[in-house]
Amino acid sequence: MQTHLADFIRDTPAGHEADAILRACVHCGFCTATCPTYQLLGNELDGPRGRIYLIKELLEGAAVTAKTQLHLDRCLSCRSCETTCPSGVRYSRLLDIGREVIAERVGRAGLEGFKRSLLKRLLLTRWLFAPAYRLGQWLRPVLPAVLRAKVLPYRAPGARPSGNRRRRMIALAGCVQPTMAPNINAAAARILDALNISLIEAPQAGCCGALALHLDDSVAARAAARRNIDAWWPLLEAGAETVVMTASGCGVQVRDYAHLFQDDPDYARKAARVALLTRDVSEVVAAEKAGLLELLAKSKPAMNNPKLAFHSPCSLQHGQKIRGAVEELLAAAGFALTAVADSHLCCGSAGSYSVLQPEIATRLRDNKISALSSGRPAAIATANIGCLAHLQSGSDLPVRHWIELLDERLIR
C-alpha cells in the first residue's frame, strides 16, 4: 500500500512504524473473513482492512471524525486478523497508533468521556473496586438477575504455600483479578510449589497497563508498566527466573513492554529483559510436564474423565501465539475436551469492551457460549479473568480458570 503520511507524524517513531505497517498490507482482505465484528456487522469499515484504510487516511491528514472513532472503537483488539494475515501486518500496533492520534484530536465528549473516566477510576483504584466488588459478592444471592450476572461467586483462595523453594518465579497479581478470583494465583502457587518452584508477588506491582490503554490513556499505561518493572527488577536481579502471567490479557501487555519502551533510555534495557522473561502460566507448567505427570500419577484419578470446553482467549491464541498448551495439560490431567466451533473468535470481553460496546459484546458472548456448550461439557475453562467473568455472566455452567481445575485435580 502506498503512503504519504502527513507532516505531524511522518518523521516521528510512531510515523515510521505506521508507515512500515501500512506498506506491508496488500489489501487482500483475507483478514476480513476471520474478524468477529465484520462477521456480526457486515460493514467493511468494521473489519481490519477497512480500519486500516481509516487509519491510513487519518495519518495522511484527513479530518478525524466521530465516525472514524466509532469504527475503531468497535474493534476488539482481538488480533484474529493478525493470525490470518499472510503478509504479517501488525494491525494491533497500527490500531494503537491510530487510537492515540484520535484521542489527542477528537477526545471523548459527554457521556462517553464520563463513562471511560469512571471505569478507569473504579477498576484501577483497589480501595474502591475491592470493597464494592466484595459487597456485590456478599449480596449476590439477593441481587436481581441482571446484576447477579455481573458478579462472580466468591471462591476462597485456600492456603498459599510457604514460598521457600530454591527456584523462584514472580507472579503478576494484577488489578481486578485478586478481588474477583483470588483463587487463581493461589492455585498457580500451589501447583508450582508442588513442582518445587515458589511463586512470589511484588507488593508494589499492580495493573499491567492494559486497562488504561484500552481506555485511551497511554500515559497511565506507561506509568503502570514502569511501576511493575521497578517492582520486579530487584527480584529478577536476585535470581527470580520468570515473570508468570495467570491472565493472558496481562501477558500480552507485559510482553509488549519491550516495544513500549524501545525509545526510552531509562527503561529500554529493563523492559526488554522483563518482556523476554515473561511467560504464561501454561508455558511454565508445560515446561515442567514430567514433574506434573508424576504428581498426577500420585493423585486421585479423575472421575469418569469430566467433560470440559476450553475457551482460548484471543490474548493467548492470537496475542501470544500460544495454541494447544492448555488443552494438552488438561487432557493429561484426565479431562475430556469437547470440540468447540469457531474457536478463533473472540468472546466479546476484550478488556473494557464488554462495558463500552455492550450490544456487540453480548452477541459475541452468546455465540461463544453456544459453541462452548454444544458438546455438553460439565464446565467451561479459560485462561483470562476478563473472559471468565464475561462468559460466566451469560452461562449457568461453571466457568473457571484452567489452573484452578488442575489444582483441584491435584488436591493431595
Residues that bind ligand SF4 (CB under 6 A): 25-31, 35-37, 47-49, 51, 75-81, 84-85, 87, 89, 91
Amino acid at 150: K
Nearer to ligand SF4, 229 or 387 (CB): 387
Nearer to ligand SF4, 90 or 273 (CB): 90
Give 170: exposed, middle or buried? Use CB within 10 Å, 0-12, 13-18, 19+: buried
For helices 66-73 and 48-59, give the axis angle rounded to 10 degrees: 140
What is the C-alpha to C-alpha distance for residues 225 and 255, in angstroms, rounded to an integer?
11
Nearer to ligand SF4, 313 or 377 (CB): 313
> Residue 181's Cα: distance from chain center in Å?
15
Identify the helix (H) or strand (E) that includes residue 399: strand 399-401
Q: For the CB of residue 352, give the shortest distance to ligand SF4 in the complex, in Å.
A: 15
What is the C-alpha to C-alpha distance for residues 170 and 284, in angstroms, rounded to an integer?
12
Q: For the CB of residue 33, give the shortest distance to ligand SF4 in the complex, in Å.
A: 9
Q: C-alpha angle 378/368/390, rounded to 5°?
A: 85
Q: For the CB of residue 384, give the shortest distance to ligand SF4 in the complex, in Å.
A: 15
Nearer to ligand SF4, 34 or 282 (CB): 34
Nearer to ligand SF4, 31 or 187 (CB): 31
What is the C-alpha to C-alpha distance for residues 93 and 111, in angstroms, rounded to an integer?
28
In three state form, how does the secondary structure of 316-344 look? HHHHCCCCCHHHHHHHHCCCEECCCCCCC
| DSSP letter (8 states) at residue 105 | H
Q: For the CB of residue 68, give the shortest distance to ligand SF4 in the complex, in Å.
A: 14
Nearer to ligand SF4, 27 or 376 (CB): 27
Nearer to ligand SF4, 236 or 350 (CB): 350
What is the C-alpha to C-alpha distance for residues 368 and 379, in angstroms, rounded to an integer?
14
Q: For the CB of residue 380, give the shortest distance to ligand SF4 in the complex, in Å.
A: 21
Q: For the CB of residue 406, give the shortest distance to ligand SF4 in the complex, in Å.
A: 29
**Is 16 within 8 Å of 37 (Cβ atoms)?**
no
Nearer to ligand SF4, 49 or 168 (CB): 49
Q: For the CB of residue 315, give the shortest distance to ligand SF4 in the complex, in Å.
A: 11
Q: For the CB of residue 334, give the shortest distance to ligand SF4 in the complex, in Å.
A: 34
- DSSP annotation string for 121-157: HHHH-HHHHHHHHHHHHHHGGGS-HHHHTTSPPP---
Amino acid at 65: T
